Structure 1
Amino acid sequence: MALPRQPARARLLRAADALFYERGIAATGVDAVIERAGVATGSLYKNFSGKDELVAAYLDDRDRRWRDEWESAIAAAADPVARVLAIFTATERWRDDVGLGRGCAHIAAANQLPSDHPGMAVAVAHKRHVVERLTELVAAADIPEPAATAGDIALIYDGMLGSMAVGLDPDPINRARRITYTLLNGGR
């Protein structure tokens, strides 16, 4: 028995996710997304006002899925420090399930979009959430200066994603995890 087809919006988001991430937002036209999704042109405009709204929805959907993955890793962690380090566990899972060969989709989008593009607000909100959630986790682990420490971890995290995009480090996730663990333990 064949599985039921997903609604057009879900197929468009899945196609946009694959194409915008792999080829880039600027290099991918809506016709390619429509073709990949296997929908009629009208389906795009029934669900989104145009490419700008599709880009914002793609980034928002990716953010939502990432948050779910990260929260799952946090919930499975055994202690407060492990909950901080769960960002790297979630990243490993995301890499294995979704792929991270091009680094962070939100940073890539920010590099391609004008500052007033609706997708830029989603990219900024994604990065803001990472820092805010890390701040909560660091505070719960009784680490001094939680906001500053969370900012340092976010920088390590983004550097790790950048390293993944260029492929120079053979194991950037575990390297970032180790650096963060050292940071959380006062540099020891």
Structure 2
Amino acid sequence: MGTSERPRRITMTPAAQRVLEAAARLFYERGIHAVGVDLIATEAGVTKKTLYDRFGSKEQIVVEYLADRDERWRTFLTQHLAAAQPTPAARVLAVFDASRAWSAKNSPKGCSMVNAHAEISDPSHPAHPIITGQKQWMLALFTDLARDITPDGAGRLGQTLLLLHEGALVAHGLNVFADPISHAREQAQALLAAIGDSAAKR
């Protein structure tokens, strides 16, 4: 499977939803490789047969887990952007605000995609396109937002903003220092202000 292809998804039944909820909690708390289907089935209150009937494999459960988190994050971020002030800088900073709010509620151990990539680095794994796809989407989003600030330098600025954002997510997960996402937001704000000042002097 190429990295641009989206993996197959399943139709969720009530039993499948219970499996997904249990797996999502266990995968995030303990790691994907550390959690077996026996534990997932027990936590979900279903038999292993039901689990395999619904998903077919553990790999498919991983796909559904990551795809669900990805979809919820994109919806959450889109709502934050819709509510942000319409200025280009405010919209960039709204991404960091959304990440801070999301991480406080959903990601105390860091970004689920970054964590998953530490265990799933093989591009042939069906979940791999979800992991890389989210980060490619974030780069495209930052680049689009940067285009309203510096049309000629949008690509470079988009990459810089992504580095600030992703570095903050990793630091948050590692608990290296307090509130790294706010610190990254401050650095992004200073960078955007410097770009604005430079443009005004031309």
Normalised by the size of structure 1, how large is the TM-score? 0.89
1:28 shift after superposition: 0.8
For 1:37-73, what per-residue CA distance to the aligned partner results, in whole angstroms no more than 9, with x for missing partners? Answer: 2222233222212111111111111100000111011
Question: Across the two proteins, how many residue pairs are aligned to each other?
Answer: 182
For 1:157-187, what per-residue CA distance to the aligned partner results, in whole angstroms no more than 9, with x for missing partners? Answer: 1111111111121111110100111122236
Corresponding residue for residue 57 of structure 1: 64
Corresponding residue for residue 138 of structure 2: 130
- Paired residue secondary structure (2:194): coil
Q: Match for 2:35: what amino acid?
A: T
* Segment drifting more, 51-60 vs 142-151: 142-151
- In the alignment, the residues of structure 2 paired with residue 43 and residue 179 of structure 1 have an alpha-carbon distance, to the nearest angstrom, of 49
Corresponding residue for residue 115 of structure 2: 108
1:150 shift after superposition: 1.1
Corresponding residue for residue 171 of structure 2: 163
Corresponding residue for residue 27 of structure 2: 20
Percent of residue pairs bearing the same amino acid type: 35
- In the alignment, the residues of structure 2 paired with residue 45 and residue 141 of structure 1 have an alpha-carbon distance, to the nearest angstrom, of 50
Q: Match for 2:14: what amino acid?
A: P
Q: Match for 2:183: what amino acid?
A: R
Q: Match for 2:119: what amino acid?
A: Q
**In structure 2, which of residues 152, 156, 161 is the aligned counterpart of residue 148 of structure 1?**
156
State whether residues 114 and 131 of structure 2, in contact with CA within 8 Å, keep that contact through their aligned partners in structure 1.
Answer: yes
**In structure 2, which of residues 178, 184, 187 is the aligned counterpart of residue 176 of structure 1?**
184
- In the alignment, the residues of structure 2 paired with residue 89 and residue 153 of structure 1 have an alpha-carbon distance, to the nearest angstrom, of 13
Q: Match for 1:110: what amino acid?
A: H
Larger RCO (alpha carbons 8 Å, 6+ apart)? 2
**In structure 2, which of residues 77, 99, 102 is the aligned counterpart of residue 91 of structure 1?**
99
- In the alignment, the residues of structure 2 paired with residue 160 and residue 109 of structure 1 have an alpha-carbon distance, to the nearest angstrom, of 17
Unaligned runs of 5+ in 2: 1-12, 198-202
Normalised by the size of structure 2, how large is the TM-score? 0.83
Larger radius of gyration: 2
